[in-house]
Structures are given as C-alpha cells and as structure tokens.
Amino acid sequence: MRIYGTLATSHLTLLAVPLGLLLAAFLWFFGTTTRQITDSAIRDGATAMTRMAQDELTSQVYGTLTAVSAIKRQQVMAYFANAAMLIETLALSGDVASLSVSMQRHLRDIQAAPERPIDVEVFAYTEMWEHFIARFRPYVDTLGYYDLFLIAPSGHVVFTVAREPDLGTNLAVGSLSASGLGNAWKRAVEENKTVMTDFEPYAPSQGAPASFLATPVHQDGKIIGVLAVQMPLTRINTIMHERTGLG
C-alpha cells in the first residue's frame, strides 16, 4: 500500500507538471491575444477620431474660406458700384461740360480727320490741356484711379491726365480700337450708358492690367463725349488682402 501510494503520488506530480505548463501557455496566449486585440482597437479608434477631427477641421476651413470669398466679392462689387456712381456724377459736372465743349471746338478748328490721330504737341492744345489738368488731376489722385480720359464721339482721345501714348489717338481705328479703352468707348456710345471692361493688359501703360469704366457725356440730349477712368489692379489686390470686415 505504501508503494502504491508513493507511485500514485509520483504520477499525480508528473501529471501536474504538463497541466501547469499547459495552463501557463494558455494564459500567455490569451493575454497576448487580448492585448493585441485591445491595441488594435485603440489604434482603430484613434485613427477614426483623427479622421473625424480632420474632416471637421476641413469643413470649418472650407466654411471660413467660403465666407471670406463672399465678403471679398461684395467688397469688390461695392468698389465698382461706387466708382460707377462717381464717374456718372462727374460726367454731369460743369468741369466736364466745359472740357467737352473746348475739345470739340479744338477738333473743329484743326479740322481733325476721323481716321487720323491729332497733334497734342501744338501750342493751342498744350495751352488748353494745362488749363484743365489742374481741375482733373485731383479726381485721379483722390479717388485712386490710374488715369482719366475724355473721348470725342469720333473716337479721338482728346484729354488724359497721365498723358501716355494713347493721348491724341483715335479709338475707332488702329491698334487701340480693340483695347479695353477702345471697347469701353464704343460700348458707352452704342449703349448710351455706363459700361465697364474686364482687366487685361493695356499697352500704353506698359502692358499693366487695367479695367476701364466709361459713361457718356450729354448735352441737350446728345452725346458730346465719353468720360472714362482707368482702374489699376492694385486697388483690387488691396481689397483682397485687407482684413476689414473679416472680424
């Protein structure tokens, strides 16, 4: 009996060793697998949260840019609407009426040909230009325009503030007939209303981008000229970069 008990105890001891190893292996496997599952879940959750945060940020940025774009569009439209109102008011002024009458008289005196430019270096014209420049330069300087023009119904550019190569030319013919100024003059006469052209390079101003706003000048119900202003792109750039109205 003592021998049997000893053998039984030995067998149980031997049996316990592999069971213990099996249990240890099971616990190690279970713990590792659980840990892997947990780590994977954490990573997936973190990735999902990051993606949600990025989507939310993208949505906020897009919304902000859309709002900024709308504000800037309104500011640019307000700038052009105000410029149109100012040029229409100026076209009704006594200064423009006096300039128009004087220039029309000069064109008759020199018998200007419709298809040819006029000489702006002769004394009669230079004296007249110097008389009117003091009246019109303040408009350009104060309102931030690049130049101001008076154009005869025949297409002759009879007055400018900047005195660039377009002064004296005829917009009805030649290279400037298809320019922004040429198109503005033509439309203002044909449509008998204030018109505006898109920004595009303008050769007399060394190819700088320019937009033109033009309005007819009337006397006794007839068009006696076209008043135009040249608006530089710099003013639009200033509006697009300033933060006024953005909070």
DSSP string of 143-197? HT-SEEEEE-TTSBEEEESS--TTTT-BTTSSGGGGSHHHHHHHHHHHHTS-EE-
Between CA 39 and CA 35 the distance in angstroms is 6
pLDDT at 151 over 70: yes
pLDDT at 8 over 80: no
pLDDT at 43: 55
Looking at residue 225, its amino acid is G
Residue 188: pLDDT band with limits 50, 70, 90:
very high
Higher pLDDT, 13 or 119: 119
Whose CA is closest to 135, among 159, 115, 117? 159
Higher pLDDT, 240 or 28: 240
Indicate the SS3 state at residue 121: coil
Between CA 209 and CA 7 the distance in angstroms is 107
Structure-token pair, residue 70 = 């709308």
* pLDDT, tens digit (0-9, with 9 covering 90-100), for 44-98: 554 555 555 455 545 544 454 465 678 888 888 888 899 999 999 999 999 999 9
Residue 243: pLDDT band with limits 50, 70, 90:
low
pLDDT at 165: 96
The answer, as to whether pTM is greater than 0.75, is: no
